[in-house]
Amino acid sequence: MEHVLAQAERDAHDLKKIDAKNARARWLFLPDSLLLFVWQVWIIGPLVIYYCIYVPLEVSFAPDTGTDMPTVSFGLDQLFWVDIIINFSVRTSMNRATAPTTSHNLDQAP
């Protein structure tokens, strides 16, 4: 049983190295990429929180003052479009049995 588990771990490690090499070559992001984590947590996270607070307040209380806020909102909306493109560029690796490769799949014996 331990031999099968060790082989599965080596195979998973080899697949991860191959995935990392292919992802760089094709401009794809791996799901555990540091760049993807920073983008989602430090860029998109605060943007979502900002919009959750700003939009209801703007709709409820803001008179049309003619400020530059529509320009700022347009720029922030563009970041959301970039996020959609990035999320379509996240690579997922599939096992030969068409199951996602995760650590808990290694516990199951074939």
pLDDT at res. 24: 56
Residues 56 and 78 in one domain: yes
> pTM for the whole thing?
0.57
pLDDT at res. 41: 94
pLDDT at res. 57: 86
Exposure string of 79-99, with b = 16+ CB inside 10 Å and e = fewer, is eeeebeebeeeeeebeeeeee
Q: Can you give the residue range of the structural domain that contains 78?
A: 33-90
Q: For 11-57, how does the pLDDT look when each residue is reduced to its tens digit (9 = 90+)?
A: 777 777 766 666 555 677 777 888 889 999 999 999 999 999 988 88
Q: Which residues neighbour 108 within 8 Å (Cβ) at sequence distance 6 or greater?
A: none
Establish how many alpha carbons lie within 13 A of residue 61's alpha carbon, considering only the half-sphere containing its beta carbon: 4
pLDDT (mean) for 84-99: 70
pLDDT (mean) for 59-86: 82
Residues 41 and 85 in one domain: yes
Residues 20 and 39 in one domain: no
Residues 48 and 82 in one domain: yes
Comparing 44-48, 63-67, 100-104, which segment has the lowest mean pLDDT? 100-104
- Residue with the bigger pLDDT between 22 and 108: it is 22
Residues 70 and 106 in one domain: no
> Looking at the 3D structure of the chain, how many domains does it have?
2
pLDDT at res. 46: 94
Residues 85 and 98 in one domain: no
Torsion angle defined by CA atoms of residues 64, 68, 71 and 76, in that order, rounded to the nearest 10 degrees: -90
Q: How far apart are CA 99 and CA 6, in angstroms?
A: 19
**What value, to the nearest 5°, has the Cα angle with vertex 48 and ends 42 and 51?**
130
Residues 85 and 37 in one domain: yes
Residues 9 and 23 in one domain: yes
Length of the chain: 110
